[in-house]
Structure 1
Amino acid sequence: MSEHRFVESLPDLIEPAEYAEHPEGRLVRLRIEVSADGVRILGDAFRPAALEALLHELGGGPVEQMLCG
């Protein structure tokens, strides 16, 4: 199981204007950043459980999470 760290803010990858385009709530969006420090995967989803399952499968480190979006 991944370690969860609660943070004050994370970037929004899904804009409110997109909600109506995805009435079934299946949208998951990822941003992959590569730097000298390694790879960072940012994710946003209508259904957090779907995103958490995907991040768990990718593995590799702590998951930063906001308490409310």
Structure 2
Amino acid sequence: MTEYRFVESLPDLIDPTDYAGHPDGGLVRLRVSATADGVRVSGDALRPAVLEGLLAELGGGPVQQMLCG
């Protein structure tokens, strides 16, 4: 089961100018980085459930998540 950790901020990989070009909400962006602790996968999506499913499939550690609104 995926562990979720809520954090104050995460990098934005999608900005407001991207919304018009993806009216179906299917845009997902990923950033893969090598760190001293291993590999970090950062993501942003217009539809969070799509990104959450992808990260859950990858597994390997907790998922940091922001509460927006």
Instruction: Sort the TM-score into its range (normalised by shorter chain).
Output: over 0.9
Match of 1:5 in 2: 5
Question: Which of the two has greater helix per residue?
Answer: 1
How far the C-alpha of 1:65 sits from its partner, in A, is 0.3
Name the aligned partner's letter for residue 52 of structure 1: E
Specify the code of the residue in structure 2 equivalent to 1:20: A
Secondary structure at the aligned position of 1:26 is classed as coil
Q: Unaligned 5+ residue runs, structure 1?
A: none
Unmatched segments (≥5 aa) in structure 2? none
Give the alignment's Cα RMSD to 1 decimal: 0.9
Q: Which consecutive segments of 4 or more residues in structure 1 shift more than 6 A?
A: none
Partner of 1:32: 32
Aligned twin of 2:52? 52
TM-score by length of 2: 0.95
Secondary structure (helix, strand or coil) at the match of 2:20 reads helix
Structure 1: which amino acid aligns with 2:46? F
Identity %: 72
